Structure 1
Amino acid sequence: MLKKISLALVVALIGVGAVVASRPSTFRIERSITIAAPVELPFGTVNDFHKWKFWSPWAEKDPKMQTAFDGAFAGPGSIYAWSGNDQVGKGRMTLVDAKLYESIQIQLEFLEPWPNTNTALFTFKPTGDGSIQVTWAMEGHQDFMGKAFSLFVDMDEMIGKDFEQGLATLKTITEKEAKNRLERELQLKARAAAEAAKAEQEAQAATPTP
């Protein structure tokens, strides 16, 4: 009897192992949003790790999360390390490549709760109407444990929600900045026009009448 039970367990484990092994060895999670703002605003916000606290979906999950910066201030070579609660874990990001107003590539190193290394890629594409389509993607390899985890958890749905939240916040803050910038420009133009008109009136008043 025990031999039959043991044999059944072995067969079951082999079957589970085969199912896990058949899972894809790579993954890619991607979300996009359209932002009505000059491309330099969303690009600059992503390109500077110091600004991530204003839009990153994980900043809200742990307001007490500890962060540290190293390397370049922004752009390639800049490093951002974090350590927080169970929802954010511990890890490090290194900005490895940036094509101005086109793309940003980041190496993600997760240290806790489980070690893993992935790649994040942001792309910025004009839509033709003055807006920018910003795409946030993450891709990497899955080991046996990662494949097993994917049997029970939909990673695309779980992480995709965080991407959607982060992109929505990025859209809000950059569109607000674009609006504020436009209003400042209009105010400056109006002030310059008023000063020019005043100067012309003063010049005309100072001109002797023939």
Structure 2
Amino acid sequence: MKKFFLYGSLVIIAAIFVMMIIAPKSETVQRSITIEEPVDVVYPYFASLQNMEDYAVWQALDPNTIHEYRGAGNSVGSVHAWKSEHEQVGVGEQEIIAMIPNKEIISELRFKEPFESTSTAFLKFEENGNQTKVIWGYEASYGALESLFMMFLDMDKLLGPDFEKGLAKAKEIIEE
């Protein structure tokens, strides 16, 4: 019986170790939409962190969310911090870390509650005449233990629909 327990334990540990090795260490989720406006109209809207309150799905989950803005709100170094009791909103902040005018906005997302993590969000813009394709996405890197846990979560199914709804809302606002 002791041998069975020992061998069984070794098999389980080996299986976990192998899963940690093969589990993806990074993940990207993104969605896109075409907005019937030129990029010089679309880009400034998304560059303003304050506008996220109008189109991001998570903002609508808790109308009592406390928002704080530091910096200009539309330039590198600008920060949008939030605090909510809602478990899907939690506590965190987003800082713009890079901008290429009319091309890309990159932000660092720092979640504090209900769990701590850091990831990257991006908005990319592709102009086509008087239309602009907007790509909104999320990139995360995982350590060995995190990657094991993330094997069982489909972030594309979790975040993708929220990006789609947010982009549709932004399109509606910008095209009005």
Q: Is the structural similarity TM-score above 0.5?
A: yes
Are 2:24 and 2:151, in contact at CA under 8 Å, matched by a contact in 1? no
* 2:87 counterpart residue number: 86
Aligned partner of 2:103 in structure 1 is 102
More RCO (CA 8 Å, sep 6+): 2
CA distance in 1: counterparts of 2:124 and 2:105, whole angstroms: 7
Greater mean alpha carbon deviation, residues 102-111 or residues 146-155: 146-155
Query: Aligned partners of 1:124 and 1:40: how far apart in 2?
Result: 10
Q: Which has the larger strand fraction?
A: 2
Q: Residues 12 and 47 from structure 1, CA distance in 2 versus in 1: closer, same or farther, beyond 3 angstroms? A: same
* Structure 1 residues 103 and 3: CA distance shift in structure 2, 3 A: same
Cα deviations by residue, 1:11-38 (Å, 9 ceiling, x for unpaired):
1132023113211212111111100013
For the 8 Å contact 2:29–2:160, the answer to whether it is kept is yes
CA distance in 2, matches of 1:154, 1:173: 30
SS at match of 2:151: helix
The residue that corresponds to 2:112 in the other structure is 111
Distance in 2 (CA, whole Å) between partners of 1:54 and 1:40 is: 19
Question: Unmatched 5+ residue regions in structure 1?
Answer: 177-210
1:55-97: CA deviations, max 9, x gaps? 0111112221111111234221210111221011211111122
Measured in 2, the distance between the counterparts of 1:155 and 1:38 equals 31
Partner of 1:8: 8
Residue 55 of structure 2: aligned partner: 55
SS of equivalent residue, structure 2 residue 110: strand
Check whether the contact 2:28–2:138 (CA below 8 A) recurs between aligned residues.
Answer: yes
Residue 155 of structure 1 and its aligned partner are, at CA, apart by 0.8
Q: Is it true that 1:77 corresponds to 2:77 in the alignment?
A: yes
Query: Cα deviation per residue 1:158-207 (whole Å; 9 max; x = unaligned)?
Result: 1111111111111111111xxxxxxxxxxxxxxxxxxxxxxxxxxxxxxx
Root mean square deviation, CA, Å? 1.6
Deviations 1:108-137 (A, max 9, x none): 111122221111111111124x21000012
Instruction: Give 1:195's aligned residue.
Output: none
The equivalent residue for 1:164 is: 164
TM, length-normalised to structure 2: 0.91
Deviation at 1:145, TM superposition (A): 3.3
Which residue of structure 2 aligns with residue 203 of structure 1? none
Count residues with an aligned counterpart: 175
Contact in 2 for aligned 1:62/1:87 (Cα 8 Å): no
TM-score (norm 1): 0.77
